[in-house]
Amino acid sequence: MFKETFTAGRRQVLKSTGLAAISFASAVFGMGAMLASSAASAQTYPTKPVTLVVGFAAGGPTDIVARSLAQSMTKTLGQAVAVDNKPGAGATIAGNLVAKAKPDGYTLFIHHNGMATAPALYRKLPFNPLTDYEYIGQAVDVPMTLIGRQDLPVKNFEELVAWIKANKAKVNLANAGLGAVSHLCGTLFQQTLATDLTTVPFNGTAPALTALMGGHVDVLCDQTTQTIPHINAGKVKLFGVTTKSRIGALPNTPSLHEQGLKDFEVVVWHGVYAPKGTPKPVIDTLTAALQTALKDPEVMKRMKDLGAEITPVSKQTPDGLRTHLGAEIEKWGKVIRAAGQYAD
């Protein structure tokens, strides 16, 4: 009995020691494999093309910034960074898609101020900008321009205001949907003039601008990255820039603030995001590639020619973007709730 118990106990001891030994060995092996694979993923990432999702139509301002960055990041990463346009609902469809994508660094999102306005604008927003993403960094800041169709019966901003006040709801103001900066700028413009115009939403400001040039809508507030070539080609009428002071790319164009819309200011900032849980080494690789793109002479020249400014280096970081986004959500939340504008 004693022997048996002893034997059984001894066996038990041996068995459990053996088990412990096996599990210790496999834990060591597993840890080694994990370390090796995370080192490998940091060292080898990316091993296939990376998708950069844009929430607006191709050819528009967000797309233009995205493609410029993607081209340069492709050189740095050694894999294609391909832009994928998933327009709709002020880029919230794209935002949701990326929030729910596999967090492996192969699906990224580029978005602007809309990331900060969406929580207040959409009551049933299916993602949370503050908890569902990893942050790669801020990229470029872009002024906007107020433009009109070429055959509008006005010669300057003063005449435009008089014409708008005379025609009110007969005036068609285009935008890229609720939460787009063209919507935000247009709303501010209407509030400042205390007029309600008829707003016409598109999937992006590329189709909005096409409609404006075709004479189907009257006015549009849009980013210089898209409007400057059309302004220079004389295809649209330009009434002012939305920065408080004039910009280098349009030195002879007064700001709206300068022309009487006191303190009117809209500047568009862009950030690059990955789904929550994307490994830190991968985020570090992407932040470094973004920073390299923002120093790339080709990107710098293109952005400068289109009136955009590279965001300061301190903000081209995960912390820089996260902090800025938090502050913007706070700021716009108050403005939007006070205006009572939102969608279900």
**Cα gap 211→127, rounded to integer Å:** 32
115 binds ligand ASP (CB under 6 A): no
Residue of 85, 182, 224, 287 interacting with ligand ASP (CB under 6 A): 182
Q: Shortest approach of ligand ASP to residue 248 CB, angstroms?
A: 21
Residue 114 C-beta: closest distance to ligand ASP, Å: 6
Q: Give the long-range contacts of residues 39-47, CB within 8 A, separation 24 or more.
A: 41/279, 41/281, 41/282, 42/279, 42/281, 42/282, 42/284, 42/285, 45/105, 45/281, 45/282, 45/285, 46/77, 46/78, 46/79, 46/105, 46/106, 46/285, 47/79
Query: By CB under 6 A, what part of segment 16-35 binds ligand ASP?
Result: none
Which lies closer to ligand ASP via its Cβ, residue 60 or residue 119?
A: 60
Check residue 180 for interaction with ligand ASP (CB under 6 A). yes
**Per rule CB under 6 A, is residue 53 in the interface with ligand ASP?**
no
Strands 133-149, 198-201: pairing kind: unpaired
**Smallest gap from residue 192 Cβ to ligand ASP (A):** 18
Interface residues for ligand ASP in 183-242 (CB under 6 A)?
204-206
Contact 312, 145 (CB under 8 A): no
Which of 50, 57, 178, 321 is close enough to bind ligand ASP by CB under 6 A? Answer: 57
Cα–Cα distances in Å, from 257 out to 155, 234, 302, 332? Answer: 18, 23, 27, 20
Minimum distance of ligand ASP from residue 175's CB (angstroms): 6
* Total binding residues toward ligand ASP, as defined by CB under 6 A: 13
Give the binding site for ligand ASP (CB under 6 A).
56-57, 60-62, 112, 176, 180-182, 204-206
